[in-house]
Structure 1
Amino acid sequence: MISYRPLFDKMKEKGISSYALIHKHDINPRTVHNLKHNKGISTYTLEKLCHILECTPNDIIEFIKDE
């Protein structure tokens, strides 16, 4: 399973809220919902988030092995 918990940690560190992602950086509200519920996003969105947060994909997603 993919977890976006590190994304929200990075957002807190950078002072960027979900509201800012939607209204300042034009991330679709549905995408923010998907992120909060660990659902799939496009690689385009992943790239855009990395650009906004000045980080790499490894900084904002983590892979959790299913048991």
Structure 2
Amino acid sequence: MVIISNIFKGTAMIDYSPFWETLKKTNENWYTLTSKHHMSHSTLHRLKHNQDISMKTVNDLCRILHCQIQDICVYVPSDEDQPL
């Protein structure tokens, strides 16, 4: 599997590109996620722009799409990660 990272400004450590591939494989789309499942446009915008979302949202997406976390996101190591 090839993962294409959408890291913006070098700060993203979680990449949501797997979500879009998973979404394509289902009967769901942006419209059904917002109208049927009441997901906010803001949340989908954040996913589209690879910004942080809550783990509750990840959980909801896994339930809606009948998938696993790795089908929604992937960790991308970065030299610019915050210090531990």
Q: TM-score, normalised by structure 1?
A: 0.90
By relative contact order (CA 8 Å, sep 6+), the higher-ranking structure is: 1
1:40: which partner in 2? 52
C-alpha separation in 1, matches of 2:52 and 2:42? 11
Give RMSD over aligned pairs: 1.0
1:3: which partner in 2? 15
Structure 2, gaps ≥5 residues long: 1-12, 80-84
C-alpha separation in 2, matches of 1:43 and 1:5? 16
Structure 1, gaps ≥5 residues long: none
Q: TM-score, normalised by structure 2?
A: 0.74
1:58: which partner in 2? 70
C-alpha separation in 2, matches of 1:3 and 1:37? 10
For the pair shown, the structure with the greater C-alpha radius of gyration is 2
C-alpha separation in 2, matches of 1:46 and 1:60? 7
Identity of aligned residues (%): 37
Greater percentage in helix: 1
| Number of positions where the alignment pairs a residue of Structure 1 with one of Structure 2 | 67
2:30: which partner in 1? 18
